Structure 1
Amino acid sequence: MSDFDDLDHPLIRVTMLLADSAQVADGKLYLLGGGMRSIGPNPQPLGIAVLFEVPWDRADVVHDWLLELLDEDGVPVLIGDRPVIVSGQFTPARQQGQQPGTPLLVPLAINFASLPVPPGHSYVWRLAIDGTSEADWDVRFSVRPPADQIA
């Protein structure tokens, strides 16, 4: 059970963007082609940029995160018989010289060489932190149909 389970509102704010590529360097997010909502129809690289904003008084608390790819009906996307899921942990830390009370930022970049998803459909990456997901902790996108299938 996390320290956040008994609270009525999320303490962690999340910003998520899709990009052609994303990386973290020196505590900052770097994006190429960020903010897209459509990809394809041909396979292409895809990056997910996530910025966690954690209250100052929650420094050094370990959080588990899980990012799951769902289809337009909210069903997990499978590759073979396995759902497309990425997970990990983050621990916000206070930086030397940071003003007390300043939110703690934790950047995360996830990149895929390509996603084997059928064109002509919509998808959503849904994030959960410590087993909880909020309505705005997702990013939606669609995969364009091939040119010969556009009416």
Structure 2
Amino acid sequence: MPGHRGLARPAQRLPLDEPRRQWHPGAMAMAWQLGLSLLAIFALFGIAWWLRLGGETRIGGVEEAKVLAREADDGFDPAEGVLARDGLSALVRARDGRLAVIKVHGARYAARTIRHDQIRVSADGTLSVDSGDRRYGAVRLQLAEAAPAWLIAPNGVD
């Protein structure tokens, strides 16, 4: 061969000639730990799904809104109410004319008693309620139907 001056060319190693690589001693334990961790995560996900946890919280209807208003204030005797179209807020009137606004707050509900002058009804039927509590904030209710008479005429008491 030209340019080789009599030295033999080193033999090429084939991939089959290389010794097999051994696993790191802790690699098998880490693989088992990863697999079991993933299995535990999927098991917890399945349990949460089976228990129906983590779903979106909504007020189920006017009757549920009445119960929530009664739970928020022991002396509150609900007569009627309206529910927002999205189910995230409601307005309930007591038999004595007092009002309570309820809204979904995370996975729970929050309620405040309010006065009639804290409610504004817009032309499109949206109710805007200023709770008077900075932490509670304002509540907007987009009603599915027209605002009821008891909401427009505040002096109507059973």
Q: TM-score range by the shorter chain?
A: under 0.3
- Structure with more relative contact order (C-alpha pairs < 8 Å, separation 6 or more): 1
Q: TM-score, normalised by structure 1?
A: 0.25
- Name the structure where strand makes up a greater proportion of residues: 1
Larger Rg: 2
* TM-score, structure 2 normalization: 0.24
